[in-house]
Structure 1
């Protein structure tokens, strides 16, 4: 699975090219922290977020929302101290 962050999703959504992601990658996912960031962008009035909502897997789309386990979140907190954001660290192995 390819994991994408807010930067990737926002950029391709803004140019209305979200379809590129499943065309290039077999499975695409994003962590719940990114969904939270996008919810804030939606609340601020950014129109591109609705395009992302439409492709979420629970809306019969291809974008899988990944919820990190407690152990992953603990690891994320440890890694975050070494220059990664919590969002990026939450999907680390």
Structure 2
């Protein structure tokens, strides 16, 4: 089964998930909010509340998408880059905006 780990499961990632889930994909999406986690679950996404141990999700991911909005200190997933680099995913993507 194809598994997408969506780091920062916001607007763009949610649109992608709506296309992938009907094709049989498993989607794991991070969020900072318990309320958003409930909404993701209702959409068929397995929520992971950030900050969290990404190890198990990285081990299962065949694809990784980073699309988290920046915080005051910058990209919240930069600290995870070594773990992402060590993951066995066949594809890693990064979405950004002009607001970064």
Please classify the TM superposition score into its range, dividing by the shorter chain length: 0.3 to 0.5
Q: Which has the larger helix fraction?
A: 1
TM-score calculated relative to the size of structure 1: 0.37
Rg (Cα) greater in structure: 1
TM-score calculated relative to the size of structure 2: 0.35
Q: Which has the larger strand fraction?
A: 2
